[in-house]
Structure 1
Amino acid sequence: MAFEIFENKTDLVERAYELTYEALDVGLAQNGAASLMCSGGSTPGPLYMQLSQSDLDWSNINVGLVDDRWVAPDHDRSNEKLLRNTLLQNAGASATFYPMYVEGKTAKEALDQRAAEFAKISLPLDVVILGMGPDGHSLSWFPNADGLSTATDPANEKLIAAVMANRSAVTGDELERMTLTYNAIANSREIILLVTGDDKREVFENGDDNLPIRILQKAAGDRLTTLWAP
C-alpha cells in the first residue's frame, strides 16, 4: 500500500487527478467504459471540478457515490449535491450518475432498488475515491454502527448496504446512510484515500486493529494509494 506525502492540499489534489485520470483512461481504452465512485467532503471538491473539465469520454463513464447521508439531494450535507455541483458539470455532465437517496423511503427500504441499479456497473470498479474521519471511519463504515457488520462482510455480494451510525461529533445529525460494501472495495482496480491533517494521519498510523480503516486496508490490499497533506 502506497503512502504519499505532499506539502499542501493543492499538490495532493493534483496527484489524485493524475491517478484518477490515468485509471479512467485505461478503463475506457480497454473496455470502452469506466467507473468512478466518489466520496463527499471538502477535500475532493477541487478534484471533481478539475475532472469535470478533462477530455475523458464522460459519456461512457459511470459515476456513483461511495456513501451518502440519507438526506434530500438539495441538502447542504448531501454528497449527491456536491457531485452535481462539481463533477457532473461541464464535460462531466454527460456521465451516467448512480445516486443513492430515494425520496419517501428509508435507506433499508431503498436498498434492493439501488442495489439492482448499482449491479449494472461492470466490475471491477476502475477508481474509488475515499476519505477518512478522525474516528477512523471511511465510507459510512462507522465504528459500532448498526449495519456495519453487513457492509463489511466479505460474503455480502451486494455493492451497497444501509447503515445507521451512532450519533457523534463526526456524524452530526445525519445518522442514516447508504454505503459501498467490502465487496465493492475488493472489486476495485484503484482505491485512492485522501487524508489531511496531522490528527488524521495519527489515527491512520496507529495500531488499533478495530478501526474501520483497517477493514478498508484489508479489502483494498495493494490497490490502495493513500495521499496525505497537512
Structure 2
Amino acid sequence: MSFEIFENKIDLVERAYEIVYEALDVGLAQNGSASLMCSGGSTPGPLYEQLSSSDLDWSNINVGLVDDRWVAPDHDRSNEKLLRNTLLKNAGAAARFFPMYVEGKSAKEAVDQRGEEFATISLPLDVVILGMGPDGHSLSWFPNADGLAEATDPDNESLIAAVMANRSKVTGDELERMTLTYKAIAQSSTVILMMTGADKREVFESDDQSLPIKTLQKAAGDRLIVLWAA
C-alpha cells in the first residue's frame, strides 16, 4: 500500500487523474480494452469531469460502479446519475457503461443479472476508485449489514452482491444497495482510495480490524493507493 498526502483536494484530484489515465492507457495498449470502476460522492466528481474530456479511447473502456443505492437513475443520490453527469459525457460518452439498478426488481432479485453482465468485463479490473465513510465502510460494505458476509467472502466467485445496510447518519434512507465484492477488489490492478479530512484518516489508521476498510485493505493488498488531503 502507498499513502500519498496532499495539501488540498485540487492536488489530490490531479494526482488521481495521472494514475487513472496511465493505468487505462496501459490497459488499452496491452489488451485493446480497459476497465474503470467508479465510486460516488463529491470527492471524485472533479476527477470524472476531467477524465470525460481526456483523449483516451473511451470506445474500448468499460465503465461501471463500485456500488449504488437502490434508487432510480434520476434520483439525486444515485451514483449512476453522478457518473452520467460527470464522466459519461464528452469523449467519455463513448464508454460502455455497466449500471447496477434494475427497475422493478430488488437488489437481491437483480444480482444474478448484473453479476452476469459484470462477468463479461475482462479481469483483472484496471482501475477501481473508492471512497470511505466515517464509519469505516467502503463500497457498500457497511458494518453489520445484511449481505456483508457474502460481499466480503474471498470464496464468493461473483463480482456483485446485494446488501441491506442498517440505518445510520451515513446511509441516510437508502439502505438497499448493490456492491462489488471482495473478489472484484482482489482482481483489480490498481485500487485508489480518495479521502479528505483528519477524521477519516483517523478511522483509516484505526487498529479496529472489524471495520470494513480493513477488509478492503486485505483484498487490495499492495495494489492500494491511498490519496489523502486535509
Normalised by the size of structure 1, how large is the TM-score?
Answer: 1.00
Residue by residue over 1:149-184, the C-alpha shift from the partner in whole angstroms, topping out at 9 and shown as x without a partner, is: 000000000000000000000000000000000000
Look up the equivalent residue of 1:104 and give its one-letter code: G
Provide the rounded CA distance (Å) in 2 between the counterparts of 1:33 and 1:21.
13
Query: How many angstroms does 1:192 deviate by?
Result: 0.2
Corresponding residue for residue 143 of structure 1? 143
Query: How many angstroms does 1:127 deviate by?
Result: 0.1
Corresponding residue for residue 176 of structure 1? 176
- Structure 2 unaligned blocks of 5 or more: none
Matches of residues 32-51 of structure 1 in structure 2 within 5 Å?
32-51=32-51
Corresponding residue for residue 166 of structure 2? 166
Corresponding residue for residue 104 of structure 2? 104
Matches of residues 178-193 of structure 1 in structure 2 within 5 Å?
178-193=178-193
Corresponding residue for residue 56 of structure 1? 56
Matches of residues 47-126 of structure 1 in structure 2 within 5 Å?
47-126=47-126
Corresponding residue for residue 153 of structure 2? 153
Look up the equivalent residue of 1:145 and give its one-letter code: A
Look up the equivalent residue of 2:216 and give its one-letter code: L
Q: State the number of aligned residues.
A: 230
Query: How many angstroms does 1:49 deviate by?
Result: 0.3
Matched position secondary structure for 2:201? helix
Residue by residue over 1:116-174, the C-alpha shift from the partner in whole angstroms, topping out at 9 and shown as x without a partner, is: 10000000000000000000000000000000000000000000000000000000000
Matched position secondary structure for 1:221? helix
Provide the rounded CA distance (Å) in 1 between the counterparts of 2:206 and 2:172.
25
Matched position secondary structure for 2:157? coil
Residue by residue over 1:19-39, the C-alpha shift from the partner in whole angstroms, topping out at 9 and shown as x without a partner, is: 000000000000000000000
Look up the equivalent residue of 1:89 and give its one-letter code: K
Look up the equivalent residue of 2:103 and give its one-letter code: E
Provide the rounded CA distance (Å) in 1 between the counterparts of 2:116 and 2:214.
28
Provide the rounded CA distance (Å) in 2 between the counterparts of 1:23 and 1:46.
18
Query: How many angstroms does 1:206 deviate by?
Result: 1.1
Provide the rounded CA distance (Å) in 1 between the counterparts of 2:190 and 2:113.
26
Residue by residue over 1:58-112, the C-alpha shift from the partner in whole angstroms, topping out at 9 and shown as x without a partner, is: 0000000000000000000000000000000100000000000000000000011
4+ runs of 1 displaced by more than 4 Å?
none
Provide the rounded CA distance (Å) in 2 between the counterparts of 1:92 and 1:126.
16
Alignment of 1:205 with 2:205, yes or no, is yes
Corresponding residue for residue 23 of structure 1? 23
Corresponding residue for residue 12 of structure 2? 12
Look up the equivalent residue of 2:116 and give its one-letter code: A
Provide the rounded CA distance (Å) in 2 between the counterparts of 1:54 and 1:151.
33
Matched position secondary structure for 2:20? helix
Look up the equivalent residue of 1:188 and give its one-letter code: S
Give the alignment's Cα RMSD to 1 decimal.
0.3
Look up the equivalent residue of 1:48 and give its one-letter code: Y
- Structure 1 unaligned blocks of 5 or more: none
Provide the rounded CA distance (Å) in 2 between the counterparts of 1:33 and 1:163.
30
Look up the equivalent residue of 1:60 and give its one-letter code: N
